[in-house]
């Protein structure tokens, strides 16, 4: 299956989940128009409290639909948008991307900055969900499965059904780290 946008979401308040939309508009250097996390500097409340002048490396949150399939099979009632992502993808190994990968979606371009580090809000949403979005690899290293974060390099409209083209910059793979 070719990578595709499964759904798009936006939330104007700092609530955990986001609402499914017909389309969202990505704004260069800022994020998702009308979203609470739109801005050049950090907007996540915990990060603002630490240092509100830090650059916003979390303008757009992307999450793979395959995680929802996995969580539903494990008995969790979670749907696209519930985990706070802006773009739900299908057919793209988001967690395996290299840092700095550019995702082309229509005219929009998102640079992947790193992994979403799930916080305690996820267990308040559904008990046990935090453990379900964390795993260990064969070497015992922590695997964060809650998606990736990015910044908008080029703006444009994004909607469900849009194809996604991943463009890795550079020859070396740089594993994603939490941002």
Residue 179 lies in a domain: no
CA 19 to each of CA 5, 11, 63, 84, 178: distance values in angstroms, whole numbers, following the listed order: 15, 6, 14, 9, 24
Residue 172 lies in a domain: no
Residue 109 lies in a domain: yes
Residue 57 lies in a domain: yes
1: pLDDT strictly greater than 90: no
Residue 55 lies in a domain: yes
**100: domain CATH number?**
2.40.33.20
- The count of domains in the chain is 1
Could you report the per-residue pLDDT of 22-39, keeping only the tens digit for each? Answer: 999 999 999 999 999 999
What is the pTM (predicted TM-score) of this model? 0.96
Could you report the per-residue pLDDT of 124-172, keeping only the tens digit for each? Answer: 999 999 999 999 999 999 999 999 999 999 999 999 999 999 999 888 9
Could you report the per-residue pLDDT of 64-82, keeping only the tens digit for each? Answer: 999 999 999 999 999 999 9
Give the residue numbers spanning the domain of 88. 4-167
Residue 175 lies in a domain: no
Which run of H or of E encompasses 162? none
- Note the pLDDT of residue 76: 97
44: pLDDT strictly greater than 90: no
93: pLDDT strictly greater than 90: yes
């Amino acid at each position: 299956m070719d990578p595709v946008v499964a759904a798009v979401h936006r939330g104007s308040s700092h609530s955990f989940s986001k609402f499914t939309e017909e389309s969202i508009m990505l704004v260069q250097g800022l994020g998702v128009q009308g979203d609470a996390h739109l801005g050049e500097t950090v907007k996540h409340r915990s990060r603002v409290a630490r240092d509100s002048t830090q650059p916003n490396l979390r303008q757009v949150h992307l999450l793979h639909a395959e995680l929802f399939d996995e969580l539903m099979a494990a008995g969790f009632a979670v749907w696209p948008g519930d985990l706070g992502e802006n773009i739900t993808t299908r057919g793209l190994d988001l967690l395996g991307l290299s840092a700095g990968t550019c995702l082309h979606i229509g005219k929009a371009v998102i640079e992947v900055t790193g992994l979403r580090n799930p916080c305690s809000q996820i267990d308040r949403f559904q008990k046990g969900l935090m453990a379900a979005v964390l795993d260990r690899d064969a070497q015992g290293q922590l695997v964060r499965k809650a998606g990736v974060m990015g910044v908008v390099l080029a703006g444009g409209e994004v909607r469900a059904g849009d194809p996604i083209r991943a463009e890795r910059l550079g020859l070396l793979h740089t594993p994603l780290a939490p941002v």
